[in-house]
Amino acid sequence: MNVAVLISGRGSNLGALIAAGRRGDLGPARIAVVVSNRADADGLRVAQADGVDTLVIPHGDYPSREAYDAALVEALRKRDVRLVCLAGFMRLVSAVLCDAFPNAVLNIHPSLLPAFPGAGAQRQALEHGARVTGATVHFVTPELDAGPIVCQEVVPVTDTDTVETLSARILAVEHRLYPHAVRLVAEGGWRIAGRRVVRTTIAD
């Protein structure tokens, strides 16, 4: 199953996905292409170092979000992509992308959704005084950080945490959680019922 990873920056989750693929931990999923909306994204080098195909589609070249997403869809279809993973892709996606890949666009977010959606999730958790936060992998819908949840993991907040220390602990969890989620989704045996992702096969 060909997977595209969409990035805008650092690409540490991308690195974790590539490493998992190399270990055979992504099940049938194979990272076929990495797409960035920014030519200077460090993650492009992460992909190139591993010989993964990269593509830059600059958002400034398109008049609207829908036109941008249509260009993305065309590029992904050409590569027979079946699953799209947003990994620090700093753009809202439109129905054009979601409709082209129904129940096949994933995102990772650094909080336990629905708490603290949007930017600065780690800072939001600290400022709210939450005792636990975490990471969430969810299906993407045009509504920000609101799609059905595939998996989550809790990260405790300590009294001495700063945005930096909390972000680092959440990121370590993300690097484990995203490959796990991609494998679950790629292997199948699930369906979406309302807001819930439910298993249709019993694991051995």
Task: List contacts with ligand GRF (CB under 6 A).
Answer: 7, 9-14, 43, 87-88, 108-110, 171, 174
Q: Which is nearer to ligand GRF, 49 or 198 (CB)?
A: 49
CB of 81 to ligand GRF, least distance (A): 19
Q: Which is nearer to ligand GRF, 54 or 70 (CB)?
A: 54
Q: Which is nearer to ligand GRF, 87 or 96 (CB)?
A: 87
* Torsions phi, psi for 108 (to 5 deg): -115, 135
| 3-state SS record for 16-66 | HHHHHHHHCCCCCCEEEEEEECCCCCHHHHHHHHCCCCEEECCHHHCCCHH
Q: Nearest CA to 111 among 128, 91, 132?
A: 132
Local structure of 147: helix, strand or coil: coil
Note the helical H segments in the chain: 12-23, 42-49, 65-78, 95-100, 121-128, 163-187
CB of 117 to ligand GRF, least distance (A): 11
Q: State the catalytic residue, choosing from 109, 128, 138, 180.
A: 109
User: Closest-CB residue for ligand GRF?
Assistant: 88
Q: Is 128 labeled as catalytic in the residue annotation?
A: no
CB of 103 to ligand GRF, least distance (A): 20
Q: Which residues contact 202 (CB under 8 A, 6 or more apart)?
A: none
CB of 63 to ligand GRF, least distance (A): 26
Q: Which is nearer to ligand GRF, 109 or 169 (CB)?
A: 109
Contact assessment for residue 94 and residue 65, using Cβ atoms and an 8 Å cutoff: yes
Residues known to be catalytic: 109
